[in-house]
């Protein structure tokens, strides 16, 4: 297993990976690691995250090695497909998966997303359009959506 902590405009990110792919990506208060990154998967992740921040990349193409239940994986796949600069509600994801009664289970699965940014759970909002439920913090969620050009001036977010 390889690991690195990088500094970004949104805060420090810890990236953990196996030889198969990234296993975790999360915001941390830990200091960035100074040693050079030798792991190829982490190098790819760092490069693509930098490109995302520089507005050169709108979708990630990084191998992932995730552990999750079949339901969690189906939710993560739906979240992964949310286009850059747009949002979708937890309820809409439950509808896509065929059962509106599973909205809380959807929210729970999204809350367990092990790779923030790579699976863009910051793009999931409440049915009323409010920013809710982001493990990186609501303010960071707002910043990420603003970074993607989400039109806050015409929304409930302003």
How many other C-beta atoms can be found within 10 angstroms of the C-beta atom of residue 146?
Answer: 12
Q: Which helix (H) or strand (E) holds 73?
A: helix 70-80
Q: What tokens were used for 151? A: 């039109």
Tokens of 132: 């809710």
123 SS3 class: helix
Which residue is associated with the tokens 């309820």? 91
Residue labelled with tokens 């191998």:
63
Give catalytic residues, as residue numbers: 121
Torsion angles phi and psi, residue 94, rounded to 5: -60, -40
Residues 6+ apart with CB under 8 A from 39: 2, 4, 17
């Amino acid at each position: 297993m390889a690991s690195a902590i990088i500094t970004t405009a949104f805060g420090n990110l810890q990236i953990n990976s196996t030889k198969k792919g990234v296993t975790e990506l999360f915001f941390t208060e830990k200091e960035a690691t100074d040693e050079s990154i030798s792991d190829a998967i982490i190098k790819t992740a760092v490069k693509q995250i930098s490109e995302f921040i520089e507005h050169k990349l709108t979708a990630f193409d990084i191998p992932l090695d995730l552990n999750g239940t079949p339901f969690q994986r189906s939710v993560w796949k739906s979240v992964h497909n949310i286009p850059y600069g747009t949002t979708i509600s937890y309820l809409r994801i439950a509808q896509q998966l065929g059962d509106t009664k599973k909205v809380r289970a959807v929210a729970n699965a999204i809350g367990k997303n092990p790779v923030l940014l790579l699976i863009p759970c910051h793009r999931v909002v409440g049915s009323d359009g409010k920013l809710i439920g982001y493990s990186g913090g609501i303010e960071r969620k707002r910043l990420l959506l603003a970074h993607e050009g989400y039109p806050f001036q015409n929304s409930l977010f302003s």
